[in-house]
Amino acid sequence: MIAARAFAAAVPRAVASALPSFAPSAAAAAASSVRSISMTPRSLSDDLSPLGHDHADQSNTEDHAFDFTDANYRVVERVLGKYPAMYKKSAIIPLLDLAQRQCGNFLPLAAMQKVARLLNVSDIEVYEVATFYTMFNRKRVGKFFIQLCGTTPCMVNGSEDIKAAIEEELGIHSGETTPDGMFTLLEVECLGACVNAPMIQVNDDFFECLTPETTRDLLRHCREKGSLPPLTKWGSKPLNGQDSCEGPLGKTSLATPPPVPKRRTLEAKVDPRTVKDTMMY
């Protein structure tokens, strides 16, 4: 910054001495054409995510212990059994997910370190994964963690109205949790259910084809019953009465079993037994 200021101050003087007859106007022009150098403040990954590490949370430090339950140790064994002994670190994601589920949708620092010990890798290798994937919540979230999709298909189908309904019903904004710890709201990018936009994800489940009214009903159901409503047989719940993504006119395609495709007889161009020679391997 100091160098930039010195540069900006020096150039007009140099121009003025080189061009005495045009000195005032040339100096002014040069001064206005000199761009200052600016810097943006450095951001930590924790600052970039609303659910990044909460440094004020004194119950989430290296001094706190975490251990898997006996039942989850059996899951750990099963997970580790899927990978060859020298590739145990492939289990970082499933074990972090297991730890997060055990802690109520929250991944404490101590759990990351426990996973590192179990897999015999350094802490930083686990931190790298936990801070990269947004599915890991390094800050505590409510019992019902609402992820509201605000990407284009949901946005043009009314996600702003859904957001307003949630904010009004719960009294929180994106990145915040209700004082009773029941709900957290986070606006996210496309969750892959655009065909039934607008939609939200609550914990593991998708609620689709929302209106402000059905969204409020859903939130009240969660508050009163303490649980989410059951999904349809396809594993999501469009709240307009659809079963899946059949659309407002019902199922209009693939209503009958499709005809068996005719087989084309392809002329064999390469004998598979000689493919290596053909490809010059």
Dihedrals φ, ψ of 57, to 5°? -80, 100
Nearer to ligand FES, 131 or 187 (CB): 187
Q: Nearest to residue 109, comparing CAs of 156, 59, 166?
A: 59
The CA distance from 241 to 222, in Å, is 19
Cross-strand pairs, 144: 183
CB nearer to ligand FES: pick between 149 and 239: 149
DSSP secondary structure code for residue 244 in this structure: S
List C-alpha distances in Å: 218 to 146, 161, 181, 207, 212: 11, 15, 17, 9, 10
CB of 134 to ligand FES, least distance (A): 15
Q: Which of 141, 185, 197, 222 binds ligand FES (CB under 6 A)?
A: 197
Mask 4-43, x = binds ligand FES (CB under 6 A)?
A: ----------------------------------------
Please state, in angstroms and rounded to a whole number, the distance separating the CA atoms of residues 205 and 228. 9
Q: Which is nearer to ligand FES, 27 or 193 (CB)?
A: 193
Residues 105 to 164 in contact with ligand FES, rule: CB under 6 A: 149, 151, 153-154
**Contact call for residue 245 and ligand FES (CB under 6 A):** no
Per-residue DSSP letter, 196:
G
Q: How far is the CB of 151 from ligand FES (least distance, A)?
A: 4
Residues that bind ligand FES (CB under 6 A): 149, 151, 153-154, 190-194, 197, 199
